[in-house]
Structure 1
Amino acid sequence: MDAQSYNAALADLRVMRDSIKKTQAALAKLEAERNKHIAQLATYAKAKAERIAPAAGLSLAEVVDRAPTLAPQPLATDTTPSPEPAAVAEPVTAPQPRVPQPTTPDAPAGEMARPDQLHAAEPPVAHSAQHDEPRTLPSIPDGEAGEAWFTHTKNLASTRPNFVQQTRSTVFLNTDTGVLVHRNQTHHLDLGSRTAAEILTAVFHVLPEGAERIYITAGDPWHRDVGRYPYLRDAVAAWLNAPTPGWRTDTGRGRDRMAGHFVHARNPVARYMRDDESSHVEIRSMGEWFDLDGDDPATARDAFVLLWQALRRHWDDAVLMGSPSQTGRDLWTRTIPARGQHAEGFPVLSEELRGLLHATAGQGRNELIVPPRVQERLPQLVEYDRTFAYAKHTWKSPVGTPRRITSQTFAAWSEKEQTRALYGCGHWHIRVTVPDTWDHVGLLPAPAPGDRAWHYPATPGTTFTTWAGGPEVHTALSNPLTPWKIEVLDGILWDDGKPLDDWAKKLKEAWANLTAQAHFQQDAQQARAAHLASRAVRSILLYGIGSFAQRPRMVTGTTPRNAERDVPPEAEIVGFDDELITWQKPTGFSRDPNAHPEWAAAIWSGARAALLTQRHRADDTYAGALHAAPGTVIAFRTDALYLTQPQTWPHHHEPGDYLLKGHLTGPLTAPANEEELLTLRDAGRNALAQTQKGA
Structure 2
Amino acid sequence: MDELNYRPKPWTPKDVPTIWVDQTTGQGVTDAGTPVRPVIGERRKNPNLTDLLDTAASYGANRIMLTGKRPEPAPGVRHWLYVQTPNWKPGAHWVNNGPPTGRFEHAVTGFKIEVRTAEEWFGDGPLTPAQARLAWNVTASIIRHADENARLFNSPAATGTNLWALSLPKNINPVPVEDDIAQEIHFTSGLHHYDHLVAGESFAKHEDCVPLIDPAKTKKISEFAYVDGRFMFAGVGRELGIGPAIRLNQAAAYELLEQDPYARARFHVRFRVPQGWNHVGLLGVKHLDVREGWFYPNRPGAVHDTWADGSEIHVALKHGWEIRPHEAVVFRKAKPLDTFTERMTRARERVQLQDEMHPDLRRAVLAALRNIMLHSIGAFAAAGRDETRVAASPDDVPPEYRAKMLRQGNLWIYRIPSRPNDRTRSFYHPELAAQVWGRARARVLHGPSSLGGYTSGALTVDPSTLIGIQGDAIYTTKLPAWSLPDRFIGGGDDGKTGRLRLQGYLNGSFITPETLRQRDALKARAERAGIAKALEQAEEKG
Quickly name the TM-score band, shorter chain normalised: 0.7 to 0.9
Distance 1:336 1:619, change over 3 A: closer
Distance 1:550 1:265, change over 3 A: closer
Residue in 1 that maps onto 2:324: 487
Q: Is the 8 A contact 2:394 2:402 kept in 1?
A: no
Q: Which amino acid aligns with 2:312?
A: E
Q: Is the 8 A contact 1:383 1:642 kept in 2?
A: yes
The alpha carbon displacement at 1:408 in A equals 2.1
The alpha carbon displacement at 1:402 in A equals 0.4
Distance 1:621 1:436, change over 3 A: closer
Residue in 2 that maps onto 1:601: 434
Distance 1:562 1:402 in 2: 46
Query: CA deviation digits over 1:417-446, x for unaligned, max 9?
Result: 534544121111000011112122111112
The alpha carbon displacement at 1:533 in A equals 1.2
Correspondence for 1:304 among 136, 153, 170: 136
Q: Is 2:177 the partner of 1:324?
A: no
Q: Which amino acid aligns with 1:471?
A: S
Q: How many residues align?
A: 503
Residue in 2 that maps onto 1:354: 182
User: What SS is found at the alignment partner of 1:457?
Assistant: coil
The alpha carbon displacement at 1:556 in A equals 2.3
Distance 2:105 2:396 in 1: 26
What are structure 2's unaligned runs of at least 5 residues? 200-210, 483-491, 538-542
Residue in 2 that maps onto 1:368: 196
Q: Which amino acid aligns with 1:361?
A: S
Q: Is the 8 A contact 1:634 1:642 kept in 2?
A: yes
Q: Is the 8 A contact 1:236 1:268 kept in 2?
A: no
Q: Is the 8 A contact 2:505 2:531 kept in 1?
A: no
User: What SS is found at the alignment partner of 1:568?
Assistant: helix
Q: Is 2:409 the partner of 1:581?
A: no
Distance 1:367 1:613 in 2: 16
Q: Which amino acid aligns with 1:188?
A: R
Query: CA deviation digits over 1:107-147, x for unaligned, max 9?
Result: xxxxxxxxxxxxxxxxxxxxxxxxxxxxxxxxxxxxxxxxx
The alpha carbon displacement at 1:550 in A equals 1.1
Q: Could you say which structure has the higher helix fraction?
A: 1
Q: Is 2:125 the partner of 1:293?
A: yes
User: What SS is found at the alignment partner of 1:654?
Assistant: coil
Q: Is the 8 A contact 2:96 2:386 kept in 1?
A: no
Distance 1:272 1:674, change over 3 A: same
Q: Is 2:92 the partner of 1:243?
A: no
The alpha carbon displacement at 1:665 in A equals 3.4
Q: Which amino acid aligns with 1:474?
A: H
Structure having the higher Rg: 1
User: What SS is found at the alignment partner of 2:290?
Assistant: coil
What are structure 1's unaligned runs of at least 5 residues? 1-153, 251-259
Distance 1:657 1:336, change over 3 A: closer
Distance 1:569 1:177, change over 3 A: closer
Q: Which amino acid aligns with 1:601?
A: A
Q: Is 2:54 the partner of 1:212?
A: no
Residue in 2 that maps onto 1:188: 37
Query: CA deviation digits over 1:492-534, x for unaligned, max 9?
Result: 00011111110111111011111222xx11x64xx42233112
The alpha carbon displacement at 1:333 in A equals 1.2
Q: Is the 8 A contact 2:387 2:416 kept in 1?
A: yes
- Of the structure 1 ranges 376-385 and 538-547, higher mean CA displacement relative to structure 2 is found in 376-385
Distance 1:444 1:694, change over 3 A: closer
Q: Is 2:300 the partner of 1:467?
A: no
Query: CA deviation digits over 1:87-122, x for unaligned, max 9?
Result: xxxxxxxxxxxxxxxxxxxxxxxxxxxxxxxxxxxx
Correspondence for 1:530 among 343, 362, 369: 362
Report the TM-score, using the length of structure 1 for normalisation. Answer: 0.67
User: What SS is found at the alignment partner of 2:223?
Assistant: strand
Report the TM-score, using the length of structure 2 for normalisation. Answer: 0.85
Distance 1:354 1:265 in 2: 20
Distance 2:509 2:299 in 1: 27
The alpha carbon displacement at 1:606 in A equals 0.3
1:10-25 matches, cutoff 5 A: none
Q: Which amino acid aligns with 1:157?
A: Y
Residue in 2 that maps onto 1:175: 23
**Aligned residues with identical type, % of pairs:** 24
Distance 1:215 1:631 in 2: 45
